Amino acid sequence: MRMYDIIMKKRNGEELSKEEIRFFIEGYTSGEIKDYQASALMMAIYFQKMTRKETAELTQAMAESGDMLNLSDISGIKVDKHSTGGVGDKTSLALTPMVAACGIPVAKMSGRGLGHTGGTIDKLESFPGFSTSLTSEQFISQVNRIGIAIMGQTADLAPADKKLYALRDVTATVDNMSLIASSIMSKKLAAGADAIVLDVKTGSGAFMKAESDALALADEMVRIGTHAGRRTIAVVSDMDQPLGYAVGNALEVKEAIDTLSGKGPEDFLELCLTLGSCMLMAGGKAENQEEARELLMRTIEDGSALKKLAEFVEAQGGDARAVYDTELLPKASIVRSVAAPCDGYISHITCDEVGIASLMLGGGRETKESVIDLSVGLVLTCKVGDYVHKGEPLAWMHANDVKKAEEAEKRFLEAYSFSPDVVQKSKLIKKILE
């Protein structure tokens, strides 16, 4: 078999066989197939697409390219959760302690920020000392001890995806449905959970901008998971504006803590309750949505979710005092208002541009080597459909560098459109697929 022939076959729009896909994944993981040939194949897939059968084969081959975690030493139904990535998406920070406080073991593998989207691991590192470098043994023993652990993707877990993801990130081949579905599902299958709840984002801040594409992606991932014997549920949710108000690592941690303290934004809480209900039902802790939502709300009201977050932060070496005193989280030296340029209803926020503005402040990576500034970002004061007067703050910008703040402010303002007429707010939860 020759890589050249595989590229040619896909370039010409033909279906690759299981053997050809395995040949590519094994060769690329071992280094025998080079980046330039893998890039050509990714671009061919981007334009010619993959069939359902090819996508399933690619997922399985990537999942099996490294270790498959065995979580059978953890008792109970392990339910994993994954988001396709968004702006201000701090869901895992609040949701996982809520679910763990309901008795579902959370053994979660998370990632770092990517492009304009943030990552759970970067956000968690806002707790001074926090580490996600756990061995599989430490990971499993912590879940057995306190019911929750989050680790970064190790080199041994779906290494083919790790390499391919980095390659796609720099070759403009991220936003292809089959490539996203296989990337996410290969990691989820290798991470060993019994059930998987997916948050598939749609809108200007998502990789899948069109709702029809997000629905197709959700459907594809549910099929792959179900076929692999894992109960898989997908929630398609709105990412046409940032989730909640905070965008930026420590700022999002604070918003998640506020939410667990009963003072969070409505949309963010609603998404946590929707995803959490799916997790509780998949984990056998609730019969229906109503019962699940009640159990989840109780963890906020009785403080058990916040306590679980503190336990989790402490177990992974972080300063858990910050859970109860958010002044201990990283803080920016400059906090300034970004003023509304005119009167009107906010009719649109180009959401990925808000993510890029935060990245320009230092909150995300410009290159793979960049070191993130955890303290910077933006806290919006209003969302789509709200009325603002000229000069009023649209957001508070947290920065450590005046020049960066000025450039980010320009980019941020370009993301906004205004209308003199009342604007309809978009629906947060578009669809739930199982």
CA distance 59 to 324: 41
CB of 169 to ligand URA, least distance (A): 9
Q: Which of 90, 168, 231, 365 is catalytic?
A: 168
Tokens of 205: 């801040």
Residue whose CB is less far from ligand URA, 48 or 417: 48
Q: Which is nearer to ligand URA, 165 or 245 (CB)?
A: 165
Tell the smallest beta-carbon distance from residue 344 to ligand URA (Å).
34
For ligand URA, give the closer residue by CB, 8 or 172.
172
Least distance in angstroms from the C-beta of 112 to ligand URA: 11
Sheet of 246-247: strand order equals: 246-247, 377-380, 393-399, 334-339
How far is Cα 184 from Cα 158, in angstroms, rounded to an integer?
10
Please name the amino acid found at residue 243. Answer: L
Measured from each CB, the residue nearest to ligand URA is: 183
Binding mask 173-212 for ligand URA (x = CB under 6 A): -x----xx--xx----------------------x-----
User: Does the footprint of ligand URA cover residue 113 (CB under 6 A)?
Assistant: no
Please give the C-alpha separations between residue 241 and each of 76, 167, 343, in angstroms, as whole numbers.
36, 28, 20
Whole-angstrom distance, CA of residue 414 vs CA of residue 20: 46
Total residues interacting with ligand URA, rule: CB under 6 A: 9
Identify whether the C-beta of residue 339 lies closer than 8 Å to the C-beta of residue 397: no
Question: Min. distance of Cβ 49 from ligand URA in angstroms?
Answer: 15
The answer to whether the CB of 372 falls within 8 A of the CB of 365 is: yes
Does residue 85 touch ligand URA according to CB under 6 A? Answer: yes
Smaller CB distance to ligand URA: residue 187 or 398? 187
Shortest distance (Å) from residue 406 CB to ligand URA: 31
SS3 helix, strand, coil % of the chain, rounded to 5?
A: 45, 15, 35
DSSP code string of 206-226? SSS-SHHHHHHHHHHHHHHHH
By CB under 6 A, residue 84 contacts ligand URA: yes
Q: 161 an active-site residue?
A: yes
Integer CA distances (angstroms), 395 to 245, 307, 339, in order: 9, 30, 7
Work out how close the CB of 117 gets to ligand URA at its nearest, in angstroms, rounded to a whole number.
8
Q: In terms of CB distance, is 157 or 332 closer to ligand URA?
A: 157
CB atoms within 10 A of CB 151: 23
Cβ proximity to ligand URA: between 160 and 399 the closer is 160
Contact between 38 and 28 under an 8 Å Cβ cutoff? The reply is yes
* Amino acid identity, position 96: T
- β-partners of residue 197 are 81, 233
Closest CB to ligand URA among residues 57, 311:
57
- Among positions 143-172, residues that touch ligand URA (CB under 6 A) are 165
Catalytic residue check, 168: yes
- Overall residue count recorded for the chain in this entry: 434
Residue 347 is a catalytic residue: no
Of the residues 78, 90, 123, 187, only one is catalytic, namely 187
Which is catalytic among the residues 82, 90, 163, 188?
82
Task: Please tell me whether residue 237 binds ligand URA under the rule CB under 6 A.
Answer: no
Give 17's strand partners: none
Q: Tell me the closest approach of the beta carbon of residue 152 to ligand URA, in angstroms.
A: 13
Q: Which residues, 6+ apart, have CB-to-CB distance to 382 below 8 Å?
A: 346, 388, 394
Q: Which of 80, 89, 122, 161 is catalytic?
A: 161
Please give the backbone phi and psi of residue 15, each rounded to the nearest 5 degrees, phi first.
Answer: -85, 130
| Site for ligand URA, rule CB under 6 A | 84-85, 165, 174, 179-180, 183-184, 207
Question: Which positions are annotated as active-site residues?
Answer: 82, 161, 168, 183, 187
